[in-house]
Chain A
Amino acid sequence: MKLLAFLMTFSVGVLLLIASLDLPDWSNPESPASTHLSPHYIEKSLEETSVPNLVTSVLADYRGYDTMFETVVIFCAGITVLIMLRRTFMGIEKYVKPRPKRESADIILQSAVRLLVPVMQVFALYVVAHGHHSPGGGFQGGVIFGASFILLAIAYDLKVELKKFREHGVLIFSVVGVLIYAGIGIVCLLLGGNFLAYAAWAKMLGISELEAHSLGMLGVEIGVAITVMAIMFSLYADLSSSGDLDEGL
């Protein structure tokens, strides 16, 4: 096995070394990657979508279809972990994890976390909402929001956390997020545009097409944030308790 691995790695390495002979120099402004598509995005994005953060405008508008499926990937992973772990396996007795006795609650940790979590959550909302103008967006905000729940679950215990944020709630949140994204897309279709062509919203909301693009992007970013937040927590909860949703780590 080691020999096979070495041979495969070696041949792939040789292949990639050969490929390097013809690469354009690093960070050369004249390389094809920087001259073919990217000038259009850089020059036209503000004009066509009124969003200064180019990553957001390419992510949520020009390549919004990709991003929708990216959210679906996260959703799919969430369900996959659920279907695998949240089920007792037939014919094999349940594996019992040796659990150390839990120490009495750590007051410093818990108070610090109590102070930290609201700040994190507000910051997450800021990251989502300000994604048009500064680094940020749905994924980043969603992950920070999810991390705040995970922090609570680590400092206290998973059961306490799950009392606040039930499993059904997590699942509903994760579906609602993707549904917001895909729903915005399908409404565009009903309003006479193509799928995810946010300009179609303009007439219904009574705003200009530019504003409709900006607003549509905000909408899908919120959808992404909700799904990512819910699935991040769901992944942690299921993996840390091997699907039993008990005290966890």
Chain B
Amino acid sequence: MDDLLVFIINNYNYWVALILLLTGLYGMISKNNLLKKVISMSIFQSAIILFYVSIGAKKDATIPIIEHGHNSHGADHAVIDVANYVNPLPHVLMLTAIVVGVATLGVALALIQKINQVHNTIEEDEILRDLQE
């Protein structure tokens, strides 16, 4: 029992990401309103971003900016302790993923506006009925 509890607590970042991810996935498939689908899509992407960023975390470490880095231009800088700084790579990757998310969101909203102009509704079942006619 204790093992399980320790396991759950040690990975709580993962549970948060998991719950958000499943919420988003469920919404993307089941929601009838296209706007809600897009909102779910954003939640889904945010969950993945959260998952990645939490990979980079490290105990007792600070943000990945070298202290007093700008005084020593490369040559005679102090020794850098790796344990003091978190992993910068996931942050970089997620900056990219955020941008991709924004781009997809913009395109999805434009498509919804167009769908609304053509079908006069953004409810999926009404659109499908409209398509069958």
Binding site for B on A (CB under 8 A): 1-2, 4-6, 8-9, 12-13, 16-17, 20, 23, 25-29, 31, 33-34, 37-39, 41-43, 45-47, 50-55, 58-59, 63, 66-67, 70, 73-74, 76-78, 80-81, 84-85, 89, 92, 94-95, 132-135, 139, 210, 235, 238-239, 242-243
A80 and B18 in contact (CB under 8 A), knowing A9-B25, A43-B82? no
Q: CA–CA, A6 to B11, complex, Å?
A: 25
Return the contact of A84 from the options B58, B103, B110, B120 (Cβ within 8 A).
B110
A58 and B89 in contact (CB under 8 A), knowing A74-B102, A77-B102? yes
**A residues in contact with B26, CB < 8 Å:** 5-6, 9
**A residues in contact with B131, CB < 8 Å:** none
Closest CB pairs A-B (n = 7): A52-B69, A77-B103, A5-B30, A5-B29, A38-B87, A54-B64, A54-B88
**B residues in contact with A238, CB < 8 Å:** 110
B58–A239 CB distance below 8 A: no
A34 and B10 in contact (CB under 8 A), knowing A66-B96, A92-B118? no
| 24 pairs, A vs B, C-beta closer than 8 Å | A6-B26, A16-B18, A16-B22, A20-B14, A26-B13, A29-B59, A29-B60, A38-B56, A38-B82, A38-B87, A41-B89, A42-B64, A42-B80, A46-B74, A55-B95, A58-B92, A66-B92, A73-B100, A73-B103, A77-B104, A81-B106, A81-B107, A81-B110, A243-B113
B70–A133 CB distance below 8 A: yes
**B residues in contact with A39, CB < 8 Å:** 82
Chain B residue nearest to A35 (CB atoms) is: B82
A55–B92 CB distance below 8 A: yes
A84–B111 CB distance below 8 A: yes
**A residues in contact with B65, CB < 8 Å:** 52-55, 133-135
A-B pair count, CB < 8 Å, reads: 177
- For the residues of A in contact with B, the DSSP-based class is helix
**B residues in contact with A135, CB < 8 Å:** 63, 65
**A residues in contact with B63, CB < 8 Å:** 135
Return the contact of B110 from the options A23, A76, A80, A133 (Cβ within 8 A).
A80
Q: CA–CA, A48 to B66, complex, Å?
A: 13
A210–B107 CB distance below 8 A: no
**B residues in contact with A50, CB < 8 Å:** 73-74
From residue B123, how far is it (CB to closest CB) to chain A in Å? 13
Return the contact of B88 from the options A16, A25, A55, A76 (Cβ within 8 A).
A55
A29–B117 CB distance below 8 A: no
A33–B90 CB distance below 8 A: yes
Return the contact of B103 from the options A28, A67, A76, A85 (Cβ within 8 A).
A76
